[in-house]
Amino acid sequence: LLTALVFIAGSSNSAVSNDCSYVDCDAINFKLPHGVEGGYCECVNGTGQYFTCGDGKAFSVRKMACAEAPSTTPRLE
Predicted pLDDT of residue 43: 93
Residue 14 lies in a domain: no
pLDDT band at residue 33 using 50, 70 and 90 as cut-offs: confident
pLDDT tens digit string along 55-70?
889 899 889 999 998 7
Closest CA to 34 of 67, 68, 11: 11
Predicted pLDDT of residue 10: 46
Q: How many domains does the chain have?
A: 1
Residue 46 lies in a domain: yes
The secondary structure element, H or E, covering residue 25 is: none
For 41, counting Cβ atoms within 10 Å of its Cβ (0-12 exposed, 13-18 middle, 19+ buried), the class is buried
The residue range of the domain holding 37 is 20-68
User: Is 0.85 surpassed by the pTM of this model?
Assistant: no
